[in-house]
Amino acid sequence: MTPERRGVLAIAGAALLWSSGGIGIKMTAEPPLTIACWRSAFAALALLALFRPRLRGSLAFLAGVASYAACLSTFVVATKWTTAANAIFLQYSGVVWVFLFSPIVVGEPLRGRDALAIAAAFAGMGLFFAGSLDLQRHAGDLVALLSGVFFAAVVLVLRRERGESAAAAVTWGNVLTAAVLAPFVLAGRGPAPRSAAILALLGVFQIAAAYVLFLRGIRFVGATEASLVGMLEPIANPIWVFLVLGERPTGHALAGAAVVLGAIAWRTLGAGEATVPVIAAPD
């Protein structure tokens, strides 16, 4: 198996861990900002213990930290102001920005195969969320689109930095997220013990462990392909909810999921030889 294929599997594992957030969030009664704050706080503790990262002063590093915190925070706001379907669908519009800016930020050429796979995946997501999208909630939709911009910035920065610098950006991004949201959360009561346990699991596994896998994969996978594989997250999220909580997806959703999975498989498994050179992590 090529390093690129192993990287794809690592990113797919990260997306599946990210998708478990739907279950955890539905199982806790805490408000969205409380969930985001405590989840990032637990993730920060886990990542600080694992990586022991140092702060860096480079522009790319600071952009990664800020983009990461902004991505998580704006997605929470978007989920509150619009439907969950709108929020996740519009956030993944960031895949298009990754595709367009990859040549400038990380020096990766535009490829027709990527464009076709992205178009097919978005068609599948549109089918998946048919009947769930509410296009009248303009403020939340705009915030979700903004979250997509930050999502793209995170992917591009992590691909550019790689190694210790990328791990530090994710770690301090969680610290910044928790710190920014803390004033809005800590003034009230803390989460109930059951909710705190769920949020700890989300922080350690759905965020920290997922980004450990993503950071491992992004060393060997191009930015556009990585963001495309990440689209497993919105597809797997309701599937996990169905398996654990019994919320049955519609026939359109199942068909859309099949289209997205097909697009990802066509791009990653049908690519033949690795299209991204293996690059060792910088010191």
Q: Is 44 or 111 the better-scoring residue by pLDDT?
A: 44
Q: How confident is the model at residue 187 (pLDDT cuts 50, 70, 90)?
A: confident
Q: Encoding tokens for residue 196?
A: 């705190």
Across all residues in the chain, what is the average pLDDT?
84
Cα gap 40→262, rounded to integer Å: 33
Give the lowest-confidence range in 32-36, 136-140, 224-228: 136-140
Residue 275: inside a domain: no
Would the pTM count as exceeding 0.95?
no
Cα gap 64→71, rounded to integer Å: 10
Q: If you ran DSSP here, which 8-state letter would residue 16 be given?
A: H
Query: Smallest Cα–Cα separation from 111: which of 281, 280, 278, 272?
Result: 272
Treating both helix axes as pointing N-terminal to C-terminal, what angle do 210-218 and 163-185 enclose, rounded to 10 degrees? Answer: 150
Residue 278: inside a domain: no
Report the number of distinct structural domains present in the chain.
Answer: 1
Q: Report the amino acid identity of residue 225.
A: E
Q: What local confidence, expressed as pLDDT, does residue 150 receive?
A: 95
Residue 240: inside a domain: yes
Residue 280: inside a domain: no
Q: How confident is the model at residue 270 (pLDDT cuts 50, 70, 90)?
A: low
Q: What local confidence, expressed as pLDDT, does residue 206 receive?
A: 93
Four-residue CA torsion sign, 60, 72, 86, 244: positive
Q: What local confidence, expressed as pLDDT, does residue 276 receive?
A: 45
- What does the pLDDT average to over 70-99? 83
Q: What local confidence, expressed as pLDDT, does residue 135 receive?
A: 59
Q: Is the model's pLDDT at 272 over the cut of 80?
A: no
Q: Is 56 or 251 the better-scoring residue by pLDDT?
A: 56
Four-residue CA torsion sign, 76, 237, 21, 9: negative
Q: What local confidence, expressed as pLDDT, does residue 275 receive?
A: 45
Query: Smallest Cα–Cα separation from 11: which of 221, 173, 275?
Result: 221
Tokens 């910035």 locate to 153
Q: What local confidence, expressed as pLDDT, does residue 63 receive?
A: 92
Q: What local confidence, expressed as pLDDT, does residue 185 receive?
A: 87
- For 117, 124, 126, 139, 226, the CA distances from 121, given in Å and listed in that order, are 6, 5, 9, 25, 13
Task: Supply the range of the domain harboring residue 237.
Answer: 3-269
Residue 279: inside a domain: no
Q: Is 100 or 23 the better-scoring residue by pLDDT?
A: 100
Q: Is the model's pLDDT at 280 over the cut of 60?
A: no
Residue 122: inside a domain: yes
- What does the pLDDT average to over 124-148? 77
Residue 167: inside a domain: yes
Residue 12: inside a domain: yes
Query: Smallest Cα–Cα separation from 218: which of 34, 12, 1?
Result: 12
Number of C-beta neighbours around residue 2 at 10 A: 14
Q: What local confidence, expressed as pLDDT, does residue 136 receive?
A: 59
Four-residue CA torsion sign, 15, 18, 19, 20: positive
